[in-house]
Amino acid sequence: MPVAATARRGYAVAHYDPDSLTFSLPARSAPLVKAASGDIFLGLDLAAHRLIRHRRQIAGWRRAGASINLVVYDLLPLQRPDWFPESTGRNFRGWIKVLMRHADRAICISEQVARDLHDMLQTAPAMSLNRIEIGVMPLSGAIEQSSPTMGMSAEEDAALAQLNGQKMVLVVGTIEPRKGHDSLIAAMEHLWQIDPTAPWLVVVGRPGWRTESLQAHMRELARRQPRFLWLDSATDEVLTAIYARASLVAVPSRGEGYGLPVAEALRHGCKVLARDLPVLRELERPGLYFFTDEAPTALAARLVEILHHPDPAPFVGAGWDDSARALLRALKLVDA
């Protein structure tokens, strides 16, 4: 059964609408969930600030014999706190403490995150109090199997029409320090300087944090560079249409827990040029290329090189049903 908590109230039963795949918060009068031996709590979302507030409820469930299982998407707020707001790092540190003290199992979204967590736990003092099993549940790039957001504005429709038949580099992700938009934009600006007919650059991503000067530069670039487009509120419908038009998907991210844009792009039959991160090597297959030098001239040359490679065949890969089965295996609810 789905459960949810608010800032002031602990976990209670939430209402789930299977038609829209959405949840509504429990009523204020709803009784708090009481667990018993054999029950399983699965924390699917990070919700760091919630779990910290209700750690006593979690601890009580475990004392009653319930199994506490938390999904770990990455450890980046611990590894690179400079990439995140201070509140994110503070809440994440508290969440990790709850995991170390009360979780029976951590389910990671990639082998790399599992290795990072294992290494961290080996040096954590709290490990003397608790032994945590680590499982892996890879994600999927199947947008169509999720609950895709729909809708397209007149401006977005016009932008898509403008992109028809054009060479275009696409980058997907919130504008935040770790995503590396700055290095890609610098490389594309270099290309535009030496070749006015160089490919378009389309950015799909909401404004994030600690990138105010970059965002200002992007807005100014959108005004003066006709081959630059920033869509900051695109739905999955719009994103899917842009994937279909992309000549190359760039993933300049400096840190990932899985690499969802890589999986999505390969599923759409797009070439991908990604920063050479160990976690992205887990997704390696024909059509996925890597770069190591982010200097504008070097990255620009690598972009031009990969643009000339043939497009790969669409890679269906794992679907969300496969992710669900991996989750059930990690929870020991089905045979491995």
What string of pLDDT tens digits covers the 336 residues of the chain?
A: 889 888 889 999 988 777 766 778 787 778 999 999 999 999 998 888 889 999 999 999 999 999 999 999 999 999 999 999 999 999 999 999 999 999 999 999 999 999 999 999 988 775 545 689 999 999 988 788 787 889 999 999 999 999 999 999 999 999 999 999 999 999 999 999 999 889 999 999 999 999 999 999 999 999 999 999 999 999 999 999 999 999 999 999 999 999 999 999 999 999 999 999 999 999 999 999 999 999 999 999 999 999 999 999 998 788 888 999 999 999 999 886
pLDDT of residue 21: 67
Amino acid at 75: L
Amino acid at 307: L
HSE (CB half, 13 Å, CA atoms) of 282? 21
| Degrees, nearest 5: CA angle 195-199-201 | 120
Structural domains in the chain? 34-140+321-330 (3.40.50.2000), 143-307 (3.40.50.2000)
pLDDT of residue 22: 75
- Cα–Cα distance measured from residue 5 to residue 233, given in angstroms and rounded to the nearest whole number: 28
- Cα–Cα distance measured from residue 227 to residue 209, given in angstroms and rounded to the nearest whole number: 25
Q: Are 334 and 328 in contact (CB under 8 A)?
A: yes
Segments in the chain forming alpha helices (H) = 48-53, 55-63, 76-79, 86-102, 111-122, 154-163, 181-194, 212-224, 236-245, 260-267, 278-281, 296-307, 320-330
- Cα–Cα distance measured from residue 10 to residue 53, given in angstroms and rounded to the nearest whole number: 8
Q: Are 307 and 247 in contact (CB under 8 A)?
A: yes
Give which of 40, 53, 37, 41 is closest to 5, Cα–Cα: 53
Token couple for 264: 């999505």
pLDDT of residue 48: 83
pLDDT of residue 183: 99
- Cα–Cα distance measured from residue 152 to residue 146, given in angstroms and rounded to the nearest whole number: 18
Instruction: Count other C-beta atoms under 10 Å from residue 309's C-beta.
Output: 13
pTM, 2 dp: 0.92
SS3 103: coil
- What lies within 8 Å, CB to CB, of 169 at 6+ separation is 184, 188, 199, 200, 201, 202, 246, 247, 248, 249, 250, 303, 307
* Angle (deg, nearest 10), helices 154-163 and 236-245: 10
SS3 133: strand
Strand order in the sheet with 200-204: 228-231, 200-204, 168-172, 248-251, 272-275, 288-291
Token couple for 298: 């070097």
pLDDT of residue 133: 95
